Amino acid sequence: MATTSTPDTISRPDRALALLGGSPDDATLRRYLHGLPGVDAVGLDARAADLGTRSIKTTSKAWALDRIISLIDLTTLEGADTPGKVRSLVAKAVNPDATDPSCPRVAAVCVYGDMVEHAREALGAAHGDPDDGGVSVAAVATAFPSGRASLAVKLADTADAVAAGADEIDMVIDRGAFLSGRYGVVFDQIAQVKEACRRADGTQASLKVILETGELQTYDNIRRASTLAILAGGDFIKTSTGKVQPAATLPVTLLMLEVVRDWYRATGVKIGVKPAGGIRTSKDAIKYLVTVAETLGEEWLQPHLFRFGASSLLNDVLRQRQKMAHGHYTGADYLTID
Known catalytic residues are 170, 238, 274
Cβ partners under 8 Å of residue 271, min gap 6: 230, 234, 235, 236, 237, 260, 263, 264, 305
Instruction: Name the nearest CA neighbour of 213 among 267, 257, 156.
Output: 257
CA distances from 139 to 1, 169, 277 (A): 32, 5, 16
Backbone angles phi, psi at 331, to 5 degrees: -70, 160
**Does residue 22 come out as left (phi exceeding 0), alpha (psi in the -120 to 50 range) or beta?**
left
In which element (H, E) is residue 256 found?
A: helix 250-267
CA distance 317 to 65: 6
Do you find a cis peptide bond into 104, omega within 30 degrees of 0?
A: no
**Which residues fall within 8 angstroms of residue 62, CB to CB, at 6 or more apart?**
321, 324
What stretches of 52-174 show up as alpha helix (H) in DSSP?
Answer: 58-70, 83-94, 116-123, 151-163
